[in-house]
Amino acid sequence: MTSISIDDDCQILDDKHDEEKCSDNDTDKSITSSTSDSSNECPFNAEISSKLSTAFAKATGIDIEFAIQLLKDHGWNIDQALKATYEAKEHAQSIISTKENWKKTNEKYLKISSWNTDTTDCDEIELNDLIEQRAETIIEILLREKPDVILLQQVGTVALTLIITYLSSLYDDESVQIDSPNNCNYVSIFTRKSLIKKKNVSIISNEDNWKMLKIEVEYKDSLKLDLFNAVIDENTSSFCFEQINETNPDHIVISGISSKISENAWDFNMCDLIDLWEKTGKQPEVTYTYDPELNSNINGNEKPERYDRLFYRTSTSLNDQFKPIHMELEGIQHIKTSDRIFPSTHWAIQGYFDIDS
């Protein structure tokens, strides 16, 4: 029989106590590590995370699914998620406020809208239904704003049919298919019947069957405008602008361009055109037309980009008489059937031009 002294018992108890302290410290480290980790993994159990998401959605007034995604994106750090939410709301309100200040000037200026609708047709019935709902909101915005010229990019057949149907009483339209027959996308140009007369329509293409739509028009029976609309990439941008540069110098040029070309990849020497955003002061609130931080239609962690641009060139005869006045973003409102979904993954550019003729 082995005997154990009192001193031995005390030592054993002390050793156990030290082990428990080490175990507690390890647990604390584990908890600290999980809560400070910036990954998307939730550090809470299902019940707590559900209550947290619900409370966050209620406090911020956003959809529960969007609330969960925001919390995930910010490592379930409530302070960071709240900051991102309120910054996005302030940004949206700033854009809306700026736009509202121009509502009374609609008839005074030439008003141009350019919008990548991102409404490509889909084989899934539910997604096509959603495209129709998004298209209906696009139509509502266009009819409310009534631009003199509308330049739409990446319009699917379902959306295009709806838009033409609802706008036909006010607008003439021309479209050209820019993708393969199995993936129908169009670029379209709509012009106000009461102010603009079409003179000539042409489709510009290269050897790879890339296409750009051009319409020559007359505005208010006096000004000759050449309207261009295209979706480009780094392989087609040079050809696109070469064709635009060859336009009659006595005509005003307006060009809507949508692309996936990031800001630092643009070659600004390739075109003899003026970027409306740059000419109107590079206002920060209208910089990004593709904004994952504000547009919940966009999935992933992409950074905001200025993928959409409105270019112009005055005619030699007008010189400084054709002047850009203002630029704003449109489409920053949810569709009627959702408090989370926007009409497109892109905001629309809306530009105002003054003509002293």
Residue 55 lies in a domain: yes
Please tell me the predicted confidence (pLDDT) of residue 46. 76
Are residue 191 and residue 312 in the same domain, yes or no?
Answer: yes
Q: Which residues of the chain, if any, have pLDDT below 70?
A: 1-41, 62-63, 65, 89-107, 180-183, 268, 357
> Exposed, middle or buried by CB within 10 Å (0-12, 13-18, 19+), for 230?
buried
Residue 77 has a pLDDT of: 79
| pLDDT of 28 | 40
Is position 98 within any domain? yes
| pLDDT for 181 | 60
Q: Do 179 and 223 fall within a single domain?
A: yes
What pLDDT, on a 0 to 100 scale, did the predictor assign at position 84? 75
Place of tokens 């141009």: 112
The rounded distance, in Å, linking the Cα atoms of 81 and 67 is 9
- The pLDDT, as a whole number, for residue 2 is 39
- Domain assignment of residue 17, yes or no: no
The pLDDT of residue 4 is 36
The answer as to whether 209 is a domain residue is yes
106, 128, 158: which is the final residue of a domain?
106
* One domain, residues 117 and 133: yes
| CATH code of the domain in which 75 resides | 1.10.8
Within 10 Å of residue 78's Cβ, how many Cβ atoms?
14
**Three-point CA angle 181, 186, 190, nearest 5°:** 150
Tell me the torsion sign for CA atoms 168, 185, 111, 315. negative
User: The CATH number of the domain where 222 resides is what?
Assistant: 3.60.10.10
**99 in the same domain as 215:** no
Residue with tokens 């070469």: 242
The neighbouring-strand residues paired with 201 are: 215
Query: What is the domain range of residue 173?
Result: 108-355
| Strand (E) or helix (H) holding 50 | helix 46-60
Give tens-digit pLDDT for 276-292. 999 999 999 999 999 99
Q: Is residue 54 part of a domain?
A: yes
The string of DSSP letters for 63-97 reads -HHHHHHHHHHTTT-HHHHHHHHHHHHHHHHHHHH
Q: pLDDT at position 64, please?
A: 72
For residues 142 and 55, state if they share a domain: no
Secondary structure (3-state) at 330: strand
User: Strands (DSSP E) along the chain, which ranges?
Assistant: 110-116, 149-155, 171-177, 186-192, 196-205, 211-219, 223-232, 252-259, 274-275, 308-313, 322-330, 348-355
The residue from 106, 126, 156 where one domain ends is 106
SS3 202: strand
239 shares a domain with 181: yes
> Vertex 155, ends 153 and 160: CA angle to 5°?
125
8 Å CB contact between 302 and 292: yes
Same domain, 213 and 282: yes
- Count: domains in the chain: 2
Where among 65, 84, 106 does a domain terminate? 106
